[in-house]
Amino acid sequence: MKVTEHIQEAKGNTLVSFEVLPPLKGKTIQSLYNHLDPLMEFKPAYINVTYHRAETMFKKRVDGSFEQVEVRKRPGTVGICAAIRNHYNIDTVPHLICGGFNKQETENALIDLNFLGIDNVLVLRGDAAKNESSFEPHPGGHLYAIDLLKQVVNLNNGIYIEDDIQNGEKTKFCIGVAGYPEKHFEAPNLEIDLQNLKKKVDAGADYIMTQMFFDNSKFFQFVKDCRACGINVPIIPGLKPLTSKKQLSVLPRIFHVDIPTELSLEVMKCKTDADVEIVGTEWLLQQSRELKEFGAPVLHYYTLGKPKVIWNVVKELV
Ligand SMILES: Cc1cc2nc3c(=O)[nH]c(=O)nc-3n(C[C@H](O)[C@H](O)[C@H](O)COP(=O)(O)OP(=O)(O)OC[C@H]3O[C@@H](n4cnc5c(N)ncnc54)[C@H](O)[C@@H]3O)c2cc1C
């Protein structure tokens, strides 16, 4: 089922969904099931699986010189989506990115997903590779998420890259895109970022999934601004628990989000990360309750190695 169908069927009730990363290369799929098993009691509507581009690394040869190698540390997104679907009989949302892929590889991945019966994709640009100062598209790939989105929309209309394919099967992907209540870090301002988001929606995005945020008022304002500029698709808040003191500086640096003063002060008072986890759990619970009250269609939790914290929060909500 599509994410939008889940939302329609819920008739205004707030659903939950979870997001996982593929296990590191060499780890088993069981490690992922162990992570997800306890969360399944909350009957999530779907599970998102992130995508990770290959990284360029330098490996030392025996003669002391260095060899440049491409390493994908977390491969398997498409396979994991199929595995989770089989294992739990639940819908999955694979993330697809522009970075590192040409259009043919993207089309092949979409064909695989279609054959596997996966109805959803979250289309993203991806970040710059670690050895690049800014995002560089693959020479045969896409520059912005909207370009990737248009490729999926084309496939939904039976338009494949090879124009000699006549009456090609029309896929039926439900397409999600990313939105940033606190602005995408490269956008000159919130207004321009919102205009770019509207272009993605006008080009066929079915819903928006947000970057994490710790201050609900930023999400409420974002929804208001989206509605004011004619964005009428569902907007799903992305939520993450704060679980260590280090995150006070790491999260703003990596994800370009603010940590509210009240939360920062509480965290700074903590003696250990176990204490931070208690503060972070309570904060996330309050955020979740308020978002549910607001009528958020889905509460989407980034579980990122902290399924127990998410479990503690969601059990209080149901
Ligand atoms: C919910 C969510 C899930 C994510 N999952 C992953 C993942 O699985 N794997 C991964 O690698 N990364 C992931 N990311 C990170 C994401 O790839 C980065 O945030 C990336 O920098 C931007 O992706 P985007 O899809 O928002 O890009 P875009 O929508 O392309 O926007 C990127 C920037 O370009 C601007 N822009 C957009 N269109 C235009 C245009 N036509 N002209 C000029 N400027 C334009 C935007 O305002 C923005 O500043 C995720 C982010 C979110 C919020």
Residues 6+ apart with CB under 8 A from 302: 19, 212, 238, 239, 240
Q: Per-residue pLDDT tens for 206-262? A: 999 999 999 999 999 999 999 999 999 999 999 999 999 999 999 999 999 999 999
**Ligand 1 centroid, distance to 197 Cα (angstroms):** 10
Give 259-288 pLDDT, tens digit per residue.
999 999 999 999 999 999 999 999 999 999
Residue 126 Cα to ligand 1 middle (Å): 6
* Average of per-residue pLDDT across 103-132: 96
3 state SS of 300: strand
Look over the chain and give the mean of its residue pLDDT values, rounded to a whole number.
96
* Residues whose CB is less than 8 angstroms from the CB of residue 155 and which lie 6 or more positions away in sequence, other chains included: 107, 110, 114, 170, 171, 173
Q: Ligand 1 pocket, 259 CB below 6 A?
A: no
pLDDT above 90: percentage of residues in the chain: 91
> What would the mean pLDDT of 114-134 be, rounded to a whole number?
94
In this structure, the chain runs to a length of: 318
Ligand 1, atom 12: closest residue by C-alpha: 126
CA 11–ligand 1 middle distance (angstroms): 30
Decide: 171 in ligand 1 pocket, CB within 6 A: no
Q: Which atom of ligand 1 is nearest to the CA of 197?
A: 29
Give CA–CA dist 2/11, Å, rounded: 15
Q: Determine the atom of ligand 1 nearest the C-alpha atom of 53.
A: 11
**Residues 148-197: tens digit of each pLDDT:** 999 999 999 999 999 899 999 999 999 999 999 999 999 999 999 999 99
Over residues 22-62, the pLDDT tens digits come to: 999 999 999 999 999 999 999 999 999 999 998 888 888 99
